[in-house]
């Protein structure tokens, strides 16, 4: 009985570990904040007023990539606007008023009209972004 339980665990492990190794070595980034991304964040920081809160606008429907920017720009306040979850304009208006947000980092396709007046592109190895200023 003990041998059967152990053999079953060994079989499960023998199936799972190679599969996970293949996935990890083929697809998983070894670095959650690769140097090229940190350089891109630094270029965006240079275009923003020190400490000013910003929106991070992306067509994603989850906050993983926005979360990375949030953490790399910490302690600057970065608010995720995920257009993949719906129209972000009501949320953006409320946040802009409450936290005096005047700038945005835009990743991916142009979002709905959020009153951006000036955009400056920041190339990136994986995903270019734009730093935008919002109409007052």
Partner 1 sequence: VTLRLSAHLWTLALAAGFAFLGRRLLGARRGAQAWNEAFLAGAGAAATLLFPLSLLWPRHALVLTALLLGAAAVAEAAAWAHARRRGSAVEPAPAPPPRPRDRAVLALLVLAAVPAVAFAVLNLRTSYAWDGFQIWATKALALHHHGGLTRELWPGGVYEGQSARTVTYPPLLPLYEALVAVFRRSFDFNDFKPVFLVFYVSLLVSTWHAARAVTGARGAAGTVALVALLPPLSTSTSTGGYADLPLAAVVAALVAAVLAARAPHGWRAPAAWLLVALLAVKSEGLILLAVAGAAILWTWTRPRGAWGPRVRGHLPALAVVAAALALRGAYLAWTGVGDTAYAALTPAAVPPAVQRAPLVLARCLRWLLRPADWGLFWPAFACAAAVVMRAGPARLRALAAAVAAAAAAFASTYLLSTIPPDWHIDRSYTRLLSQLAPAAAVVMAAAYERLRGGDAGPGDVSPSAPGP
Q: Applying CB under 8 A, which of residues 59, 85, 95, 115 lies at the interface with partner 1?
A: 95
Q: Is 52 in the site for partner 1 (CB under 8 A)?
A: no
What's 74's DSSP letter? T
Q: For partner 1, give the closer residue by CB, 94 or 121.
A: 94
Stretch of residues binding partner 1 (CB under 8 A), selected from 17-25, 42-50, 106-114, 127-135: 17-25
Q: Under rule CB under 8 A, which residues in 67-86 are in contact with partner 1?
A: 67-68, 70-71, 74-75, 77, 79
Closest CA to 81 of 94, 72, 71: 94
Query: Sheet containing 78-82: which strands, arranged edge to edge?
Result: 78-82, 54-58, 103-107, 129-134, 116-122
Q: Is 100 in the site for partner 1 (CB under 8 A)?
A: no
Which residues, other chains included, contact 103 with Cβ-Cβ below 8 Å and sequence gap of 6+? 48, 49, 52, 53, 54, 55, 131, 132, 133, 134
Site of interaction with partner 1 (CB under 8 A):
1-2, 4-6, 8-13, 15-17, 20-21, 24-25, 28-33, 53, 63-64, 67-68, 70-71, 74-75, 77, 79, 95, 99
């Amino acid at each position: 009985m003990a041998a059967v339980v152990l053999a079953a665990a060994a079989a499960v492990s023998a199936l799972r570990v190679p599969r996970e190794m293949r996935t990890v070595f083929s697809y998983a980034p070894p670095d959650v904040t690769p140097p090229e991304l940190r350089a891109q964040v630094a270029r965006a920081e240079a275009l923003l007023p020190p400490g000013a809160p910003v929106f991070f606008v992306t067509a994603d429907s989850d906050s993983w990539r926005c979360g990375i920017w949030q953490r790399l720009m910490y302690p600057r306040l970065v608010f995720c606007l995920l257009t993949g979850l719906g129209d972000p304009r009501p949320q953006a208006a409320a946040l802009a008023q409450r936290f005096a947000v005047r700038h945005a980092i835009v990743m991916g396709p142009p979002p709905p009209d959020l009153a951006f007046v000036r955009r400056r592109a920041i190339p990136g190895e994986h995903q270019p972004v734009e730093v935008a200023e919002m109409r007052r």
